[in-house]
Homo-oligomer: A and B are copies of this chain.
Amino acid sequence: MPDPWQRESTPMWPRRDLLDLLGIEHPIIQAPMANACTPELVAAVSNAGGLGSYGAAATPPAKLRETVRRIRELTDRPFLVNLFAPAVERHQSSPGRTAALAQVLAPWHAELDAGPVPEPVVTVGPFAEQLAVLLEERIPLFSFHFGPPPTEAIERMHAIGARVLASATTVREAQILAEAGVDAIIAQGAEAGGHRATFALPWQHGMIGNLALIPQIADAVTVPVIAAGGIMDGRGIAAALALGASGVQLGSAFLACPENNIPTPYRQALLAARDEQTLVTDLYSGRPARAIRNRYIEEMEQHRDALLPFPLQASMLRGLRAACARSGRDDFISMWAGQAAGLARARPAGELVAQLVRDYAAVTAALRGAP
């Protein structure tokens, strides 16, 4: 049986710049989600004509090589790997600060029977080694969070024919990235779940809603713009492309897919999330990120003085996280989610991509008053 939407899939998209740049069929990018995404998820999205992304910031170099090879076993289509800009690797604690946080966490460990409070470890990077592996493996597409990668790194990625994407939360940040040689801008609206990408100003100044952010960035740069934040279905995709984006990046929509690696209580909270339930907090990792409100966020606010810098804070919470996952509790898990996460529907990622394409076609047909 012929698929009417499949036949017209290429001409239906209003802009070809991003499709040509990335070598994909549909301008739908699954957001890289460190610690949540799997090679199976990435491959399923790419095989469906979208772009699968692997969030590798927390993946050690040897494991990263193995992961890239696994993705290539599962798909021969383009895929993307995301790293954090190396600027965020400046992290320092001290025995005194570690002890102070351990004292705050100890009663919760006792309550959850979570064993001793773990020592802080560096869970991000090292950037130079991660980049070296990805260049050796000649991956086709990179993206960066928390600012642009160093110029020399961009040159090395371009030298192997790869394309480089990076996230901006304001027009000024988009201009900085474009001047740095980035090939496409991910415009991260205030709606987005997970870490704020803001790097050039205080994060509170970079909380621009996508309806305002996308057209202003599209007017300010000549490279393709990818909208991220609050996009869950064909309505959101049509809105983003109407605003001037060439493509979209969806996180929360793909988080609930069965290919993903998130604890059951997190998946349940995501599917039940209400619009007013998320907030931007630095209490989980040391950097601001949008998550579903829970008990930890409320209670840890009283102990803000004990917070360790990014990413050490998150590493000391791993005992509580594991205990929650074991016991089906969601009160100490960092449940990153966007402001429309409640629109998520749990279904295989390939089916989700096909559904998004069909819904986009239906929404844009209706916009012209078609019967």
Contact = CB atoms under 8 A, between A and B. Distances in A.
Interface string A84-110: 000000000000000000000000000
A339 B369 contact: no
Interface string A184-213: 000001110000000001001111111111
B242 A206 contact: no
A369 B191 contact: no
Interface residues of A, number: 55
Interface stretch (A67-75, A230-238, A305-313, A318-326): A230-238
Given A205-B276, A275-B170, A368-B368, A339 B212 contact: yes
Interface stretch (A6-14, A40-48, A145-153, A259-267): A6-14
Contacts of A338: 212
Interface stretch (A130-138, A296-304, A359-367): A359-367
B211 A231 contact: yes
A171 interface: yes
A198 to B, nearest CB: 10
A14 B368 contact: yes
Given A211-B227, A216-B342, A216-B343, 7 more contacts: A12-B368, A172-B274, A189-B211, A211-B211, A235-B244, A238-B239, A367-B367
A346 interface: no
Interface string A322-357: 000000000000000011101100000000000000
A221 interface: no
B275 A216 contact: yes
Copies in the complex: 2
A14 B239 CA distance: 14
A243 interface: yes
Q: Which of A170, A207, A243, A363 has the most CB of B within 10 A?
A: A243
Contacts of A170: 274-276
A286 interface: no
7 contacts: A171-B274, A190-B209, A191-B208, A211-B239, A238-B242, A239-B242, A242-B367
A215 interface: yes
A177 interface: no
Contacts of A14: 366-369
A171 B204 CA distance: 24
A122 to B, nearest CB: 31
Contact of A229 (B13, B211, B213): B211
A209 B229 contact: yes
B230 A211 contact: yes
B230 A235 contact: no
A189 B215 contact: no
Contact of A369 (B11, B233, B276, B368): B11
A157 interface: no
Nearest to A364: B367
A313 B369 CA distance: 47
Contacts of A241: 367
Contacts of A208: 191, 275-276, 339
A191 B211 contact: yes
A31 interface: no
A295 to B, nearest CB: 17
B210 A210 contact: yes
Contacts of A12: 368-369
A235 to B, nearest CB: 5
Interface in A265-281: 274-276, 279
Contacts of A364: 242, 364, 367-368
